[in-house]
Amino acid sequence: MADEHQFIEDGLRRSQINEFFADELGRAGYGGMDVAQTPMGTQIVLKAEKPGMVIGKGGKNIRKITTELED
């Protein structure tokens, strides 16, 4: 029963993150994400038509997105 609950929570979390990226990165041509759990933490790989817009000038946009996700 606990595994089912955890599975549902993970799915909801992924859905919320996907919605967040779609809202924030719509102009950059957001096309999806891959999430991987690693020993060092969680790694999210974004797919976008315009990766420069995702990163932003000097990495400003990606840092902003990272801090919002961590909160």
- pLDDT tens for 24-60 read 999 999 999 999 999 999 999 999 999 999 999 999 9
CATH of 2-70, one of 3.30.300.20, 1.20.1740.10, 3.30.1330.20, 3.40.50.300: 3.30.300.20
Considering the entire predicted model, what is its pTM? 0.83
Domain ranges of the chain: 2-70
Number of H helices, E strands in the chain: 3, 2
pLDDT attached to residue 71: 83
What count of other Cβ atoms lies within 10 Å of the Cβ of residue 27?
Answer: 11
Question: What's the CA gap between 20 and 65, in Å, rounded?
Answer: 9
pLDDT attached to residue 39: 95
